[in-house]
Structures are given as structure tokens and as C-alpha cells.
Amino acid sequence: MTAQQLAGDTNAFKNVVSKKEKRPRKLVVGESVANKHVQSVSTVRSVDIFVSRLHPATCEEDLVKCVDTMKGNIDVKAVMFTRLKSMYEALYTSYHVAVQEDSALLTQAVDVFMSAGAWPAGVFVKRFFKKRNGSASQQ
């Protein structure tokens, strides 16, 4: 067939997609409970939070209870705390709180733990980002 004959055929180029029109394929995550022939691995992600303006007598047990109260249906795997040096330690204390949960629930966990309604009144909370060279930063 020649190009002129193919141009007249409406079905000739139907399945051809130009490079500009290609769209990335959507990611599919399985959710079948009946198919148990293979099993996925459990992955854990961490929501890192900077918590400040806490009473100087605040201890890690208090923060554990606070996280337990606000977590809802999120399956928290572990909670780690690092007390940070405050400028005026007699007035307030600050912590880096790392809440580890299932990767599939990361977005939901960020929404829960960064909600103003979840934390006690007056407590300052923001995301805690680590610098690429390994040291910590509150940005």
C-alpha cells in the first residue's frame, strides 16, 4: 500500500499515538483480599514534626499520650522523640517528633498530625525537614 491509500483508510492510523499525546500510566495498588498467592512487603514512612512552646516539664510520656489521642485509625508503628535545645529552657521546651506509619497512610497521617485541632491550644507545630547532609532543620 502507498501512503496515499493509507491516508484514505480511516482505520490505518487508529492505534498510533504520537509521542506528545502519550500520558504516563496510572499506578495501581492491589487491594484484593481473596488472592493470596503473592504478598506485598510492608513499607514504613515517617512524619517528622517540630513541636515547640511546650511546658518545660513536658516529658516523652506526655507526647506519647498526645500522639495516641490524635492518631485515630492510623496504625502508628513507632514514635521517636528528640528533645531540642531551647533558647530559654526555663520558659519552654521543643521536640522533634518522628511518627512512623505504613507508607500507604502517609498523606492521611500528615493531615492528622499537622491539624491545628489535634494539638493542645498554644502549642506550636510545623513540619520538621532534615537537611540533605544529615543535620536537622525546622523549615
Supply the pLDDT for residue 25. 73
Report CA dihedral (134, 136, 138, 139) to the nearest 10 degrees: -10
Residue with cell 520558659: 91
Task: Go through the domains of the chain in sequence order and give each one's CATH number.
Answer: 44-129 (3.30.70.330)
Of 24-28, 54-58, 62-66, 76-80, least confident by mean pLDDT is: 24-28
- The pTM assigned to this predicted structure is 0.66
- The predicted structure's pLDDT at residue 136: 57
Q: Tell me: the pLDDT tens digits for 103-126?
A: 878 888 899 999 998 899 999 999
First to last CA, the chain: 64
pLDDT tens per residue across span 39-60: 888 888 889 999 999 999 998 8
